[in-house]
């Protein structure tokens, strides 16, 4: 935590140089960041919800290949 | 419990942590870029009060509920409040900063397209919060 | 058992009881009553926003009072008491003790809630559920705001008493044969959330007192006109209420840990990672409160620290999701109503968490802060995760409480309506936030996208309302006239499950 407090401001200072006369458009920077993150979020979301849906479909008790779990024989879980 | 191996969980946690590090690093980088205020930015003093916005330009002209700026010039808002907490927001330019009584908060932006854009209050401030609106006019300044 | 009409007991036997299942029942009935009251306000809010302009709510002040009381009710009078109810019911059974550690304290903690709820509702205060100064100091009408503060004060004391009771019951009254590491995760969830509560809540209690004294003009802690700093209140408030988010969500996760293995006919995938994730959440929950205040003029360094603190909570939450999915893997899952709610809760929990990661990325705060995105995001937690877990668990407990079975088909219809409704309301609100609509507004300009999305959200709200009506009817009808449940195995899962049916007969 201490290293974060020390390093970040100094790194910020080093990198903060900028060409005069050229300004950055905050809309472009922020929306680009947003869409990069949405891309990743939707990929992860597809994997997680796909897994969940597959689990629901495959391991439902009415699935043709459904078989009792090993715990059911003992009757305790 | 019992007989499962835990390596899938470790891989999963590794992926999650890697993604979070990426998110943090990207966010940190973009925040660093957008927070850097250009030295030649013109100052506009923004004052929120129930329930309207007042703007004071560098040359002393004042506007109420309307803000006229020139295209291509960076502006720095110095935002304060006279009564309760408001939040100065130009959604189309992603300008957002709370107006806190007793403090001056700073945010800058660069108008790039001519037109009219809504200004609104984004922090609940009472009776007419929903109607604490204004208009930003971006004009050709060349 | 308690409400079983085959062996009815007079209502005052239950009301004046100190037995943990009776108090648990009182907690749950009270919290459900407040759920429906708070839900009615939510429907009114969505109806008002269905079109731009004024619909049927007389003025914006009434609207402001409605969202204030909606939020306060749902957080303090539904979610917290419901979790306490479940905890009262199950924690003594889990740790194999005859009752809670302090039965009378338990009853006192419950009986603080109705008067506090009455204070909150009669106040109908107008300053939002977080009573932001200086608005709450200089603009809020007198009796309303002060009544709200007193109501919250009482609720805070009640939660602290309840938390002490849970911690002592779990740590001191646990059966010696049951090591803490083998205690079911539902018990772990109450242990960790109670610890967070005890650490976090006193800060808010202090802040409320300071706010009250400021309102009386005695002090000026938060009043800029007297040299105070309103941001200090925001820090104190969120130091309590960001951890409080975990106090709310952890018991719901614990309830899912109870339902999912049961209906998958498998034990939980990893007890160890569940316990670890609960402890992690309890610790990390205190590192993230500042992310609520990115727009108040925080420095870059402060923002960075709080962003890292917020991101640090994600792996632990992700471990819970993994644990749920891995438990379902290879099972033979019976999708009865409780399991449906738990599964839907996992999906919405993930969506809420992903939205949270996006929220905390500092620059994106310029897009999402105090917009409808935030409303959609936290409702995915409080409704999509917490209420889903809680309602699922209520269906799960129903046969154990009443000795009767709820109507299975109606329970499933309730789930489907609520799930579709939740997606329609809260995902739409995320997009509405991206279009820049601020939260807590009584009216909005007639921008076509805003109208369309508000209407979509309105339709979703009506689906949830329809589900809730079915829910209420199902509860009332089935508790009196439902089919008798098989008390050894009400869901027809087979196998011996060790504890819920032990509470079949209360020991007085």
The answer for A 5-64 residues in CB contact with B (under 8 A) is 8, 12, 15-16, 18, 20, 23-27, 29-33, 36-37, 40, 44
What's the CA dihedral at C367, C368, C372, C378 to 10 degrees?
A: 170
* Residue B142: predicted pLDDT: 62
Please give the C-alpha separations between residue C16 and each of A14, C93, C157, C507, in angstroms, as whole numbers: 68, 21, 20, 15
Query: Which two structure tokens, joined as six digits, stand for C195?
Result: 């610890």
- Residue C83: give the domain boundaries: 11-327+335-487
Inter-chain CB proximity B31 and C295 less than 8 Å: no
Smallest CA–CA separation between B61 and chain C, in Å?
Answer: 26
Cα B4 from Cα C271, distance rounded (Å): 12
In a domain, C492, yes or no: no
Sign of CA dihedral C408, C458, C255, C168: negative
ipTM, 2 decimals?
A: 0.93
pLDDT for B2: 45
CATH class as words, domain B42-139: mainly beta
Element (H, E) at B62: strand B62-64
Instruction: Judge whether C461 lies within some domain.
Output: yes
Are C351 and C397 in contact, with CB atoms under 8 Å apart? Answer: no
- In this complex, do B1 and C267 lie within 8 Å of one another by their Cβ atoms? yes
Is A2's pLDDT higher than 80? Answer: no
Query: Is the pLDDT score of C307 beyond 90?
Result: yes
Tell whether B112 lies on the interface with A, counting CB pairs under 8 A. yes
Tell whether the model's pLDDT for residue C333 goes beyond 80: yes
- Strand-pair category, B52-56 with B62-64: antiparallel
| The predicted structure's pLDDT at residue C36 | 96
Q: How far is residue C405's CA from residue A35's CA, in Å, rounded to a whole number?
A: 48
Q: Which strand (E) or helix (H) includes residue C229?
A: none
Give the pLDDT confidence score for residue A5 in this predicted structure: 55
CA distance A39 to chain C (A): 11
- For residue C317, give Cα distances in angstroms to C39, C134, C284, C406: 27, 35, 11, 32
Confirm whether C3 is domain-assigned. Answer: no
In total, the C-beta contacts within 8 angstroms joining chain B to chain C are 148
Model confidence pLDDT, tens digit, residues C125-158: 999 998 999 999 988 888 899 999 999 999 999 9
* pLDDT of C503: 46
pLDDT tens digits for C337-372? 999 999 999 999 999 999 999 989 999 999 999 999
Structurally, chain C folds into a number of domains equal to 1
Give the pLDDT score at A21. Answer: 62
Q: Is C332 helix (H, G, I), strand (E, B) or coil?
A: coil
What are residue B48's DSSP bridge partners?
B53, B81
Q: CA A10, CA A25: separation in Å to the nearest integer? A: 24
Domains in chain B: boundaries: 1-36, 42-139
pLDDT at C11: 82
pTM: 0.92
pLDDT in tens, C86-119: 999 899 988 888 889 999 999 999 999 999 999 9
pLDDT, one tens digit per residue, over C421-439 is 999 999 999 999 999 999 9
Query: Which CATH number do you get for residue C23?
Result: 1.20.210.10
């Amino acid at each position: 935590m201490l290293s974060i407090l020390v390093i970040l401001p100094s790194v910020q200072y080093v990198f903060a140089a900028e060409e005069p006369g050229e300004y950055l458009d905050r809309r472009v920077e922020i929306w680009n960041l947003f869409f990069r993150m949405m891309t990743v979020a939707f990929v992860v979301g597809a994997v997680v919800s796909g897994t969940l849906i597959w689990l629901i479909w495959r391991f439902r008790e009415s699935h043709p290949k459904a078989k009792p779990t090993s715990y059911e024989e003992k009757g305790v879980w | 419990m019992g007989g499962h191996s835990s390596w899938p969980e470790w891989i999963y946690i590794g992926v999650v942590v890697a993604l979070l590090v990426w998110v943090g690093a990207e966010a940190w980088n973009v925040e660093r870029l957008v927070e850097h205020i250009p030295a030649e930015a013109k100052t506009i003093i923004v004052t929120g009060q129930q329930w309207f916005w007042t703007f004071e330009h560098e040359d002393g002209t004042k506007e109420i509920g309307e803000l006229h700026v020139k295209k291509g010039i960076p502006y720095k808002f110095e935002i304060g409040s006279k009564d309760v907490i408001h939040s100065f927001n130009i959604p189309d330019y992603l300008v957002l900063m709370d107006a806190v009584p007793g403090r001056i908060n700073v945010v800058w932006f660069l108008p790039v397209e001519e037109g009219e854009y809504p200004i609104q209050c984004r922090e609940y401030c009472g009776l007419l919060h929903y109607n604490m609106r204004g208009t930003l006019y971006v004009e050709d300044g060349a | 058992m308690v409400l079983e009409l085959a062996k009815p007991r007079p209502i005052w036997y239950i009301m004046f009881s100190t037995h943990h299942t009776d108090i648990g029942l009182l907690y749950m009935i009270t919290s459900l009553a407040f759920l429906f009251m708070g839900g009615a306000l939510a429907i009114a809010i969505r109806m008002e926003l269905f079109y731009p302009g004024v619909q049927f709510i007389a003025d914006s002040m009434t609207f402001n009072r409605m969202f204030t009381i909606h939020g306060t009710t749902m957080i303090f009078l539904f979610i917290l008491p419901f979790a306490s109810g479940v905890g009262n019911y199950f924690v003594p059974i889990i740790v194999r003790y005859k009752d809670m550690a302090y039965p009378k304290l338990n009853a006192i903690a419950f009986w603080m809630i109705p008067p506090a709820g009455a204070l909150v509702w009669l106040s109908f205060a107008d300053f939002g559920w977080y009573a932001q100064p200086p608005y709450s100091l200089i603009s809020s009408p007198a009796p309303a705001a002060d009544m709200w503060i007193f109501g919250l004060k009482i609720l805070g004391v009640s939660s602290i008493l309840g938390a002490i009771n849970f911690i002592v019951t779990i740590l001191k009254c646990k059966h010696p044969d049951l090591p803490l590491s083998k205690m079911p995760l539902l018990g772990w969830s109450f242990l960790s959330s109670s610890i967070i509560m005890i650490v976090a809540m006193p800060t808010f209690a202090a802040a409320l007192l300071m706010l009250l004294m400021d309102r009386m003009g005695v002090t000026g802690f938060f009043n800029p006109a007297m040299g105070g700093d309103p941001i200090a209140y925001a820090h104190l408030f969120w130091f309590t209420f960001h951890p409080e988010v975990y106090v709310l969500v952890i018991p719901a996760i614990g309830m899912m840990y109870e339902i999912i293995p049961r209906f998958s006919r498998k034990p939980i995938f990893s007890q160890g990672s569940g316990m670890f994730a609960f402890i992690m959440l309890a610790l990390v929950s205190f590192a993230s409160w500042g992310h609520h205040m990115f727009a108040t003029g925080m420095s870059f360094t402060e923002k960075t620290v709080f962003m890292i603190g917020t991101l640090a909570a994600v792996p632990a939450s992700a471990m819970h999701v993994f644990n749920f999915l891995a438990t379902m893997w290879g099972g033979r899952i019976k999708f009865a109503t409780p399991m449906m709610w738990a599964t839907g809760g996992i999906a919405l929990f993930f969506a809420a968490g992903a939205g949270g990661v996006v929220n905390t990325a500092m620059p994106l705060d310029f897009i999402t802060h105090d917009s409808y995105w935030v409303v959609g995001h936290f409702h995915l937690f409080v409704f999509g995760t917490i209420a889903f877990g809680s309602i699922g668990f209520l269906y799960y407990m129903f046969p154990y409480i009443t000795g009767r079975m709820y109507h299975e088909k109606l329970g499933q219809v309730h789930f489907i309506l609520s799930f579709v409704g939740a997606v329609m309301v809260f995902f739409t609100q995320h997009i509405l936030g991206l279009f820049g609509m601020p939260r807590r507004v009584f009216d909005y300009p007639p921008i076509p996208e805003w109208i369309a999305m508000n209407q979509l959200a309105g339709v979703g709200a009506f689906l949830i309302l329809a589900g809730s009506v079915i829910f209420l009817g199902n509860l009332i009808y089935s508790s009196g006239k439902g089919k008798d449940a098989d008390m050894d195995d009400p869901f027809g899962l087979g196998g011996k499950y060790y504890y819920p049916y032990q509470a079949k007969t209360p020991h007085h």
